[in-house]
């Protein structure tokens, strides 16, 4: 008996003892080599524009990108496409002549920063439409949702291309103007859109269901709607010099970590909303469908809030159109709630993705809060000043800390967890943009 079991035990031992690096194949190592070569190229070409901290960030980015590409293989293709088109745009600028953006076909219509971001905006809208089409058009669900997913991938790629090219463009305007494009509302809304969509696409692949995309893409499209209004009314796409408080390497770490939190919190909220819609699909009394009504009221509050502050007037009928579209979305969810419930994944899947999204977001938001305190100490001489933005960031942190505590210690699940996640979106939205609209403080450089 010992001789028959020994080979099996040896195989198990070998499998369990096999190292992480030993499991990499030739494609993994080729990808790692390309990342290293790309980093060396970037250093050789742009090191003169980097300070010591930026060089350190570049070095740290190499293992991070390699790990991400090994962890989730589709990111390799995304990185390769973004790098190729970003380099093409830089080459087409012919040494930094930004006037070529209006004369070179590819730059003018596709891969200058503004063109790429406008394409991103249109494609996220299209993705949302296809995902919702998959909810309702029988017999074509998989095709339509598949198109929605593919279009979302392209939109993420164009967002990243636009971001990389904008970074290059800023350096061509002037040596003191160049900066990573995460410094104002326009730039961080682009960041929010692609981060939220990319996290969703990961969960879509892991759980092998695309039906969640209809709800998640609603919040991405809402962000795109604000971005387009902000571009139209404030000409926010114009690259501006950094204010003194933002001329810090801390910004390059604090802001992306912060928006991983915002994006995953928004994703979790929309899945909480989907959970509640699925749960109340059989409810025949319309006045009892509270999640949908509250969601509709929240959507309609946005244009009212903007007009109350006077920032909506310059948009003319834009916010009226927003309110009409919001009403149509809410009406469609009300009328089609049974069909939607059939298409959505199980309650267990929705609950699990909601939990994982909040857990990831909370980890990064915690890191961002610590980094923000260190940045504040450098810029303003103190780690904490009870500035409105800081105060609301603390409220967001406490909200999700309590949510996770109740989940892990008390088994929070289902209805209460979903309502709490949805309410968390309201808190997060106010911390993200409401503070900029209604309050002022040390972070007033982000006002509307």
State pLDDT tens for residues 125-144: 999 999 999 999 988 889 99
Per-residue pLDDT at 190: 97
Find out whether 237 and 259 touch, Cβ atoms under 8 Å.
no
Find out whether 161 and 78 touch, Cβ atoms under 8 Å.
no
pLDDT at 331 over 50: yes
* DSSP H stretches of helix in 280-387: 290-308, 318-335, 337-343, 347-380
Q: Which two tokens stand for residue 316?
A: 């003319």
The pTM of the full predicted model, rounded to 2 decimals, is 0.91
| Residue that is written with structure tokens 């790309």 in the block | 38
Between CA 359 and CA 367 the distance in angstroms is 13
Per-residue pLDDT at 250: 86
pLDDT at 348 over 70: yes
Task: Give the residue from 122, 320, 127 showing the smallest Cα distance to 231.
Answer: 122
Residues 6+ away with beta carbon under 8 Å from 243 = 445
Angle ∠(43,46,48) on CA atoms, nearest 5? 105
Cα torsion angle, 423, 426, 429, 431, sign? negative
- Ranges 27-41, 74-88, 326-340: which has the least confidence: 326-340
Per-residue pLDDT at 166: 96
Q: Write the CA distances from 224 to 149, 230, 271, integer angstroms.
A: 17, 10, 19
Find out whether 153 and 126 touch, Cβ atoms under 8 Å.
no
Q: DSSP label at 108? A: I
Find out whether 148 and 210 touch, Cβ atoms under 8 Å.
yes
pLDDT single digits (tens) 200-240: 999 999 999 999 999 999 999 999 988 998 888 777 888 98
């Amino acid at each position: 008996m010992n001789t028959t079991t020994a080979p099996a035990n040896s195989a198990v031992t070998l499998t369990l003892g096999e190292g992480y690096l030993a499991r990499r194949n030739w494609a993994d190592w080729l990808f790692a080599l390309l990342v290293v070569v790309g980093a060396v190229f970037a250093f050789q070409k742009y090191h003169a524009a980097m300070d010591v901290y930026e060089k350190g960030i570049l070095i740290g980015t190499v293992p991070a990108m390699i790990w991400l590409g090994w962890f989730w293989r589709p990111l390799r293709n995304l990185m390769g496409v973004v790098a190729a088109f970003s380099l093409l745009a830089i080459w087409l600028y012919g040494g930094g002549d930004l006037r070529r953006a209006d004369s070179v076909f590819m730059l003018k219509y596709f891969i200058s920063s503004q063109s790429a971001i406008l394409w991103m905006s249109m494609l996220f809208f299209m993705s949302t439409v296809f995902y919702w089409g998959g909810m309702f058009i029988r017999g074509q669900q998989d095709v339509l949702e598949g198109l929605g997913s593919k279009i979302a991938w392209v939109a993420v790629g164009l967002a990243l291309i636009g971001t990389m090219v904008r970074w290059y463009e800023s350096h061509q305007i002037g040596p003191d103007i160049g900066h990573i494009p995460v410094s104002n509302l326009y730039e961080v809304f682009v960041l929010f859109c692609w981060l939220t969509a990319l996290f969703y696409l990961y969960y879509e692949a892991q759980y092998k269901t695309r039906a969640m995309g209809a709800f998640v893409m609603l919040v991405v499209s809402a962000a795109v709607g604000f971005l387009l209004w902000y571009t139209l009314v404030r000409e926010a796409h114009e690259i501006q010099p950094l204010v003194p408080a933002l001329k810090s390497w801390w910004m390059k770490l604090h802001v992306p970590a912060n928006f991983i939190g915002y994006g995953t919190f928004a994703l979790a909220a929309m899945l909480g909303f989907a959970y509640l819609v699925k749960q109340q699909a059989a409810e025949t009394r319309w006045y009892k469908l509270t999640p949908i009504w509250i969601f509709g009221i929240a959507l309609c509050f946005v244009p009212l809030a903007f007009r109350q502050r006077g920032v909506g007037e310059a948009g003319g009928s834009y916010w009226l159109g927003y309110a009409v579209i919001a009403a149509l979305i809410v009406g469609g969810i009300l009328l089609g709630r049974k069909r939607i419930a059939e298409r959505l994944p199980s309650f267990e899947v929705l609950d699990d993705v909601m939990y994982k999204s909040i857990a990831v977001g909370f980890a990064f938001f915690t890191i961002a809060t610590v980094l923000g305190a260190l940045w504040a100490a450098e810029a303003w001489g103190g780690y904490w000043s009870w500035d409105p933005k800081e105060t609301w960031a603390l409220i967001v942190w406490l909200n999700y800390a309590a949510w996770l505590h109740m989940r892990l210690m008390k088994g929070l699940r289902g209805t209460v967890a979903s309502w709490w996640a949805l309410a968390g979106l309201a808190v997060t939205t106010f911390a993200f943009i409401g503070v900029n609209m209604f309050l002022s403080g040390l972070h007033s450089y982000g006002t509307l």
